Amino acid sequence: MEITVVHGDITRQQVDAVVNAANRGMRGGGGVDGAIHAAGGPAVLADCVARFPHGLATGDAGWTTAGDLPARWVIHVVGPDHRSGQTDRSLLTSCYARALAVADELGAGSVAFPLVSAGIYGWPKHDAVAAAIETLAAAETAVAEARMVAFDRGTYQLIAQSLSTT
């Protein structure tokens, strides 16, 4: 699998699936979650309610329609909230591994990932990048491209630098 990085908006990526950094309730929120729900429209939320009436556990993943997004699917992952004491790194790496497993179930060849838990959940950015790249690089998957999407220039540079040394 090729791991790439782009500086841009995850809601505009032309991929089979976009990964949403969701909260456990699966009803929309801020950051990436809010952007995906806003761009995807009401169909994303309706599918979340139907498929995940009780939400998802931290570290797990599940899919919904992508609604109005250019992707076919949204793969929702629930990252650990570092600020509230969820510091088990295996929960973070599980988000990437489970997202790829769901992508394989769907037959997705390209998947766009945000940097899970590194925003409002406060996971230290350098370790969030390392966890993502380590997990993606070690994965056995049929996904051809895992695209890391960085909304800001600093995160893009950090991911690009990390990819160049792996």
Strands, sheet with 110-113, edge to edge from the N-terminal-most edge strand: 2-7, 145-150, 110-113, 17-22, 73-78, 61-65
How is residue 33 written in tokens?
A: 């979650």
Which tokens in the block code for residue 157? 């540079």
The rounded radius of gyration (Å) of the Cα atoms in the chain is: 14
- 3-class SS shares of the chain: helix, strand, coil, % to 5: 40, 20, 40
Whether 33 sits among the annotated catalytic residues: the reply is yes
Q: Which sign does the torsion angle of CA 8, 139, 47, 129 carry?
A: negative
Residue for token digits 């761009």? 39
Please tell me which residue in 33, 47, 60, 81 is annotated as part of the active site: 33
**Residue that has been written with the tokens 């394989």 in this structure:** 104
Residues that are catalytic: 33
